[in-house]
Structure 1
Amino acid sequence: MTKLFFSEYEEAEPSAPLVIFGAGGLGREVLLLLQQINATHPTWEVRGFYDDQAPATPTVAGLPYLGTSADLNATTEPLAVAVAVGSPVGRASVVRRLTAPQLSFPVLVHPHVALGPHQRIDLGEGSIVQQGCILTCDIILGRFVLLNLGCTVGHDAVLGDFASLMPHANVGGAAQLGPGTYLGTNATVIHGVHIGENTILGAGAVAVRNLPANITAVGVPARAISSK
């Protein structure tokens, strides 16, 4: 797992060029996050959006639609990319397609989220942490993890690559989420519980015991309703 410690990404090159892959609602929210970062410390020159499905209009939130993943791979200059795709499967698919060596995937953290060296938090490349999130200490987030608005992550938790937490999801201390895990809005994983790879925990569900890989679980307590 590739991880970046906070002190390694705290200072980015001023006005570095960046594009957003994903021209939908999450893409506009990530644009807002970038604007909030820039308002505190000018960091990114956001040039526009890429998406393999063209939006209905030539601009998104006032910025141009620039093309597909193939067009992005063809860029000839170093370029940072924020992958704004909510689905773990979809986000992993996009990352697999973006293969050009000049592309990089910075960690993006809202400026009001407390993250300092004393918290001992490792964040993998491409991870996005939105406004209102609380992370305590000794936490590992894998590559391209998404923490949407107002999520909490407790001590010693481990979130695998491409895990996605929707708004106000909660992960207890020492919990572990496998790669590709998806937690719906207000879902909760209590202390020490393990969630298997690619498992979906539905909105408002509470996982009070370990859940296997490749299932969808809902309810309180969470129970499997389907498997992949």
Structure 2
Amino acid sequence: MDPDSMRGDGGDVYWRRRMSVLVAVLVVVAVVAWACSSGGSGPGRTSSAQSSPSPTPSVDPLLAGLRTLALGTASPSPTPTATTTPTPTAEQKQPGQPCAEDDLVLSLQIGKEQIYAGDARPTFLVTLVNTGPVMCTADVGPRAMEIRITSGADRIWSNADCVSGSGTEVEELQRGVPHVRSVEWDRRRSSADCRATSATALPGTYVATARMGELRSGKGVFHLR
């Protein structure tokens, strides 16, 4: 090409054409680059993680409550309260004090035989037991612990009649340990006025009981022949 033809208006046209071609090439390159990028993560195609987010699982109230109980947060464990030992009071029984009648059990047993013939003398076993919580004392003398024999309404004999001396005998009664006393009757009548002569009891049926204050033993029935 003639160099002179590139001067003036012809030269401007030439450069315009060159610039148009360059712009067209740049546009094609941009389009290709955009197409490549749109195939991966363009605005029209987002990733599966972004386009469809995982649904939030619903919480079962029952499972939530059980989980809370397992963690120990549903109800706090109660704080154990301290126990105090009660202070002894004056009303509590002390060892060695007189026995209360409610703590005593009185019983009477007749000897092996229930029929006494001839000169055989009836014998009785009197038992006193302390059922209280501690050791206590009781008067087991004949004036306090009486064995009485009757026949119907007739008072026949009592070991408390005509007792010499004080007739007092205080014993310590351990809890549950029986105090046993053996008493023999000579088959003669007695009286509170201590008459000099006492008549012999007649053959018949008799009843023996032990008495101590308001306490009464069971009845022991025997016969004299």
Quick check: TM above 0.5?
Answer: no
Judging by fraction of residues, say which structure has more strand. Answer: 1
Normalising by structure 2, we get a TM-score of 0.19
Larger radius of gyration: 2
Judging by fraction of residues, say which structure has more helix. Answer: 2
Normalising by structure 1, we get a TM-score of 0.19
